Amino acid sequence: MGDMSELQQRELNLQGMGTSLLRKEDARFIRGQGSYVDDIKLPGMLFGAVVRSPYAHARIKSIDKSKALAAPGVVAVLTADDLKPVNLHWMPTLGGDVQAVLADKKVCFQMQEVAMVLGTDRYAAADGAALVEVDYEELPAIVDPKKSMDLDAVVIREDIADKTEVGHGPRTHPNHIFTWEAGDKAAADAAFASAEITVREEILNPRVHPCPLETCGCVASFNKATGYLTVYMTTQAPHLVRTVLAMLSGVAESKIRVVGGDIGGGFGNKVPVYPGYVVAIVASIVTGVPVKWIESRIDNISTTGFARDYHGVGELAADSQGRIKGLRFTALADHGAFNSHVSATKLPAGLFSICTGSYAIPNAYCRVDAVYTNKAPGGVAYRCSLRVTEAVYLIERMIDILALKLGIDKAEIRRRNFVKTEDFPYTTSLGWTLDSGNYEPALDKVLKACDYEGLRREQAARRADPNSETLMGIGLATFTEIVGAGPTKVCDILGIGLFDSCEIRVHPTGGVIARLGTMTQGQGHATTYAQIIATELGLPASDIVVEEGDTDKAPYGAGTWGSRSTPVSGAATAMAARKIKDKAKKIAAHLLEVAEGDLEWEIDRFKVKGNPSAAKTMKEICMVSHTSNIPAGMEQGLNAVSYYDPPNMTYPFGTYLCVVDVDKFTGVVHVRRFYALDDCGTRINPMVIEGQIHGGLTEAFAVAMGQQIPFDENGNHLGNSLMDYFLPTAMETPHWETDHTVTPCPHHPIGAKGVAESPHVGGIPCFSNAVIDAFSHLGVTHMDMPHNAWRVWKQCHALGIDKRP
Amino acid sequence: MANNHTVSFKLNGKPVDVSVEPRELLIHTLRERLAHTGPHIGCETSHCGACTVDLDGMSVKSCTVLTVQCDGSEMVTIEGLEQAGVLHALQQAFHEEHGLQCGYCTPGMITRAWRLLQENPDPSEQEIRYGIAGNLCRCTGYQNIVKAVQSAAKKLAAAKAASAAPAAAAAAEEATPAQQPVTA
């Protein structure tokens, strides 16, 4: 037995799992030395500017390039006609559909890509783009998805009008994309037929946008001499993109290098392949020089992957005690003009079927109908975990509505329906097996921390006071996430399973380089993966370098989205490290001349049991592994790679509580308090988790309180710039209180679950429930988001409570 | 480019001459001609502040300034805050308080906070939030940024007090270890 303080010191030196290790990434970012895509400058590089459609729906009669080509600094103007010879005027999407790269014959949404002008710099390219003359014939636009499948609805997608399916089963209308369902409809219907109480509500998740501070862009560089294509780009999934580029271009995948570099936030916006990337790549292949394309903020909000736009209908059936007996959720999904919905092939509505939430609901059925409209494509983005935002919003709103109908307290009704701790792993009636959970203690902890009883008493007193100028609302959300896509039997994209990977190489002197198939966009992977390795191998995190994003170097993986990095690559990291540790143990046994079974691991070394002075540190083993002094038949080196196919998803959970005060006369909502408890199992770096929570809650605040991408009846985008699109500053953003419990994931190598999207997923219903709760004593069961002052004032006005006495 | 103008200014203490069209935005001159790619572009409506630099003692959004307007001026960018290999207290504090994630808003945010703490060396939380309201961040939810500015303000005040009282300076130096540069 060693001295305890010495052991603690050795453990501390590692800065491994569980420590709030300061971030390795910061060193370059605080000095302005990050390397983001627009920082890249290559010899001869041209700049591409996109000509975009002013109409939501129109035929293109002709395109006149002549004036643009005559402008100084303009090198070329590319249109669909230039892409046709290489068959790239259309591209496949992750949703099984195709998307126009440059519009051919017609445009289907406003701001759609019509041409790209190549200039010697961005000013010349912009000048050229303004001089391209396009002759349009306007067509009627479909903006309301409820009108998409009208008998007389205009056909948006003439290119696939005669196709009976576009990737996900039969289509019943030219504007119908798919219908997907889960659960036992007959059983759910029977539960409703015999229920004591049923509630029903129409609940919209409005279209919003992830709006990362850095927009999308790339530098494509095709070397004509070698036939080798390098693309620096804002991508969350560089390996999948490389595969897609190989399929599209015919260039061998070994001759395509995609580099993620530093990415200024992704938030799901940077998973899909956008037309801008494809045109820049084609332009580089055609011209033989590098081509940079960087979109503007307005381009980004208007044309890249939006989030949500689910027109939901929720129904719950229950007994008089509020115990839920049945659930029927449907959603009309507005996917825009092309189905570029990011999801596993077999899951066209993502993981929406997690919508039974944290509750034991015996009978459930859900259905999603997706339709085309004259809007930009997208749907899955913005910390949604593949439609979990929509699922959690529906169940958390509906359980409030049920509580209201029965006169049961909103915390109490949740408690009555929770999946019990002892019932995990728990298989829901929609088929997901929740790994672990401890919901009731988490709820109790939050209620106590916020003095829930006291808050309800204060609210009752406020409601009893006729002179009160404000309404008080208390919002609760007790959510269950599903993250870590995913088991390859269920989850693939383009046929490629959603495993992920880690390759670890240990150097003779104990330095480590580790590369992964994921791609950070600020979540701190370079720090936290190093912490996993540090603890597994007993080598300090400071000597472990982590790299992602360069497809020539990193092992194949599906990228970072859906909070999948910790569940999948985090697992691969531990597994690869354990392979190294197994080999190191063999070397230690050889050196110490004992059997492997005689060794025990102590922080950073193998010790002989009962003989503590006989030990070999991992650092010593690193050097020996590169010599001839290793067991007979063993290869030199100390390296391993792991490709991890997860057995299940991870299911983190949380309890959030929000208190708001609503000004009756202006509709302004003030967030008085927001308390967020998250349980993501084993915590790798508490500091980094807290930062993820703060960011996600701020997004949730923005979505619930002000964000929206509306369209007018002609399909014009409204509010598609920061003039209107609500991004809170430090002034509007509430102060966050965070808390946690630890319920490890039993199937994960280190017990860790994903977490980064939880605050957005759980935060939105919590804010929304708080605002609506403020009106619940006045007979209001639901108000659609966003809860901005005008919309909340309209509710006050409708109730006649906005008049000053 | 017959229409080009030669503009001279001081960038992080060093004289610079550039030849630009009158329409060229300062952010593009900094990033594309002068290889100062720390300041970033996050919007085109002057809201986000990712491009914030310090121009003649003011925080300015360099996407909203023409380079030809800068003749004779003194400019500081994120690249100029580290002195002789020692990080500025704000850079150190953003690291220690986890005031950044993707790092895209960070150069503008720190450059703004640098001026804020000269305008108001002892700001309240509300004054900090108001003082950085021209700078948007998508990752942090601002809370750790506020903590970083508070932490830096304290350190700067302590350093100032120490330098004002030489006797106390030695004691302060003894009490706090020398600032280490942040490395990966």
Q: Which of B95, B104, B144 comes nearest A30 by C-beta? A: B95
B44–A691: do the CB atoms touch at under 8 Å?
Answer: no
Instruction: Give the mean model confidence (pLDDT) for residues A528-542.
Output: 98
A688–B145: do the CB atoms touch at under 8 Å?
Answer: no
**Which residue(s) pair with A483 in the sheet?**
A650
Q: Which of A213, A262, A694 comes nearest B141 by C-beta? A: A694
**pLDDT the model gives residue A343:** 85
Residues of B in contact with A215 (CB under 8 A): 42
The pair phi, psi for residue B160, each rounded to 5°, is -65, -45
Closest CA to A26 of B35, B178, B150, B94: B94
In sign, the C-alpha dihedral spanning A95, A101, A103, A107 is: positive
Tell me the C-alpha to C-alpha distance, in Å, between residue A51 and each of A2, A102, A134, A316: 70, 9, 9, 48
Confidence band, pLDDT 50/70/90 cuts, at residue B168: low
The 3-class SS string of A541-594 reads HHHEEEEECECCCCCCCCCCCCCCHHHHHHHHHHHHHHHHHHHHHHHHHHHHCC
**Which of A79-93, A343-357, A677-691, B159-173 has the least mean pLDDT?**
B159-173
In a mutational test of the A interface, the residue from B142, B147, B149 whose CB has the highest number of chain A CBs within 10 Å is B142
**pLDDT the model gives residue A612:** 86
A30–B47: do the CB atoms touch at under 8 Å?
Answer: no
Q: Is B115 helix (H, G, I), strand (E, B) or coil?
A: helix
Token code pair at residue B3:
């229409």
For the stretch A403-422, pLDDT in tens is: 999 999 999 999 999 999 99
What global pTM score does this model have?
A: 0.97
Cis (ω within 30 of 0) for the bond into A362?
Answer: no
Confidence band, pLDDT 50/70/90 cuts, at residue B183: low
Token code pair at residue B57:
């003692």
Q: What number of C-beta contacts closer than 8 Å exist between A and B?
A: 188
Distance of CA B77 to the CA centre of its chain: 6
Q: How far is B21 from chain A (nearest CA, A)?
A: 10
Closest CA to B107 of B41, B61, B150, B50: B50
Compute the distance between CA of residue A144 and CA of residue A128 in angstroms, rounded to an integer.
35
Q: How far is B166 from chain A (nearest CA, A)?
A: 31
**Which of A76-85, A267-276, A410-419, B167-176 has the least mean pLDDT?**
B167-176
Residue B174 has pLDDT above 90, yes or no: no
Confidence band, pLDDT 50/70/90 cuts, at residue A76: very high
Give the Cα-Cα-Cα angle A530, A535, A540 (nearest 5 degrees).
60
**pLDDT the model gives residue B170:** 55
Instruction: Give the mean model confidence (pLDDT) for residues A37-61.
Output: 98
DSSP 8-state code for residue A237: -
**pLDDT the model gives residue A805:** 79
Distance of CA A22 to the CA centre of its chain: 24
Tell me the C-alpha to C-alpha distance, in Å, between residue B75 and each of A682, B9, B49, B57: 47, 7, 16, 8
Q: Where are the alpha helices (DSSP H) in A101-170?
A: 122-131
In a mutational test of the B interface, the residue from A19, A21, A29 whose CB has the highest number of chain B CBs within 10 Å is A29
Q: How far is B23 from chain A (nearest CA, A)?
A: 9
**Which of A160-174, A741-755, A769-783 has the least mean pLDDT?**
A160-174
Q: Which of A296, A690, A698 comes nearest B44 by C-beta? A: A296
Instruction: Give the mean model confidence (pLDDT) for residues B161-167.
Output: 81
Compute the distance between CA of residue A110 and CA of residue A129 in angstroms, rounded to an integer.
16
Residue of A nearest to B183 (CA): A27
Q: How far is B160 from chain A (nearest CA, A)?
A: 23
Question: What amino acid is encoded at A65 in this protein?
Answer: K
Give the Cα-Cα-Cα angle A56, A149, A145 (nearest 5 degrees).
50
Pairing verdict, β A500-506 and A638-644: antiparallel
Residue B178 has pLDDT above 50, yes or no: no
Residues of B in contact with A674 (CB under 8 A): none
**pLDDT the model gives residue A4:** 73
Instruction: Give the mean model confidence (pLDDT) for residues A16-43.
Output: 98
Residue of A nearest to B30 (CA): A39
Q: Which of B38, B104, B128 comes nearest A213 by C-beta? A: B104
Residues of A in contact with B124 (CB under 8 A): none
Residues of A in contact with B134 (CB under 8 A): 729
Compute the distance between CA of residue B128 and CA of residue A235 in angstroms, rounded to an integer.
34
Residues of A in contact with B31 (CB under 8 A): 38-39
Tell which B residues from 111 to 140 touch A, by Cβ distance under 8 Å.
Answer: 128-130, 132-140
**Active-site residues of A: which are they?**
236, 383-384, 757
Give the Cα-Cα-Cα angle A434, A435, A441 (nearest 5 degrees).
90
Q: Is A454 helix (H, G, I), strand (E, B) or coil?
A: helix
Q: For chain A, give the percent of residues with pLDDT over 90.
A: 98
Closest CA to A311 of A143, A145, A479, A477: A145
Token code pair at residue A508:
């003779």
Tell me the C-alpha to C-alpha distance, in Å, between residue A660 and each of A255, A346, A467, A671, B108: 56, 41, 18, 4, 32
Instruction: Give the mean model confidence (pLDDT) for residues A748-775.
Output: 98
Pairing verdict, β A512-516 and A324-334: unpaired
Compute the distance between CA of residue A552 and CA of residue A239 in angstroms, rounded to an integer.
9
Element (H, E) at A159: none
Compute the distance between CA of residue B20 and CA of residue A545 in angstroms, rounded to an integer.
41
B32 touching A (Cβ < 8 Å): yes
Put the strands of the sheet holding A46-52 in their side by side order: A74-78, A113-119, A46-52, A291-294, A217-223, A228-233, A256-259
Please give the mean pLDDT across all residues of chain A.
97
CB A115 within 8 A of CB A50: yes
For the stretch A632-672, pLDDT in tens is: 999 999 999 999 999 999 999 999 999 999 999 999 999 99
A38–B41: do the CB atoms touch at under 8 Å?
Answer: yes
A736 touching B (Cβ < 8 Å): yes
Tell me the C-alpha to C-alpha distance, in Å, between residue A88 and each of A49, A230, A291, A669: 18, 18, 17, 49
Residue of B nearest to A39 (CA): B37
**pLDDT the model gives residue B181:** 53
Give residue A682's region: left, alpha or beta (phi > 0; psi -120 to 50). beta
Which residue bears the tokens 């001609």? B33
Instruction: Give the mean model confidence (pLDDT) for residues A172-177.
Output: 97
Instruction: Give the mean model confidence (pLDDT) for residues A761-770.
Output: 98
Confidence band, pLDDT 50/70/90 cuts, at residue B165: confident
**pLDDT the model gives residue A297:** 98
Residue A734: CB atoms within 10 A of its CB come to 21
Q: How far is B3 from chain A (nearest CA, A)?
A: 13
Residue A803 has pLDDT above 80, yes or no: yes
For the stretch A272-313, pLDDT in tens is: 999 999 999 999 999 999 999 999 999 999 999 999 999 999
Compute the distance between CA of residue A320 and CA of residue A19 in angstroms, rounded to an integer.
48
**pLDDT the model gives residue B180:** 54
CB B131 within 8 A of CB B116: yes
Distance of CA B72 to the CA centre of its chain: 20
Residue A19 has pLDDT above 60, yes or no: yes
For the stretch A435-449, pLDDT in tens is: 999 999 999 999 999
A297–B129: do the CB atoms touch at under 8 Å?
Answer: no
Residue B141 has pLDDT above 60, yes or no: yes
A722–B47: do the CB atoms touch at under 8 Å?
Answer: yes
B31 touching A (Cβ < 8 Å): yes
Which residue bears the tokens 């576009």? A166
Residues of B in contact with A730 (CB under 8 A): 128-130, 132-133, 135, 137, 142, 145-146
DSSP 8-state code for residue B30: I
Tell which B residues from 39 to 98 touch A, by Cβ distance under 8 Å.
Answer: 39-45, 47-48, 50, 77-79, 82, 87, 91, 94-96, 98
Token code pair at residue A541:
């995190």
For the stretch A369-397, pLDDT in tens is: 999 999 999 999 999 999 999 999 999 99
